[in-house]
Structure 1
């Protein structure tokens, strides 16, 4: 997780804790999970690209 993703995760966690309604808390939690999944997909894609560039052809 890079610096911006870490900051967004921390902000979403604060928003979850301070939200008065369940709907808002659920929205922020889902947004945080989506962001974490996207970050993992970026790492996987970068690794795949690196692996393909070094693969024997």
Structure 2
């Protein structure tokens, strides 16, 4: 869904509340996965090349 979009399109879709690691790597905090002992938040990493999304991955911090 995000692959091929430019950075401004991603920000319009997902909002401006993101962390910018570099100009080519931003991340959105998604919240917590339900679970009794889960203390790690889920994060959506978005990688750009020439201002176009080339990779999207989700992980826990």
Q: Is the TM value for this pair above 0.5?
A: no
Q: State the TM-score bracket (shorter-chain normalisation).
A: under 0.3
**TM superposition score normalised by structure 1:** 0.25
**TM superposition score normalised by structure 2:** 0.24
- RCO greater where, 1 or 2, for CA within 8 Å and sep 6 or more? 2
Higher share in strand: 2
- Computing the radius of gyration from Cα coordinates, the structure with the larger value is 1
Higher share in helix: 1
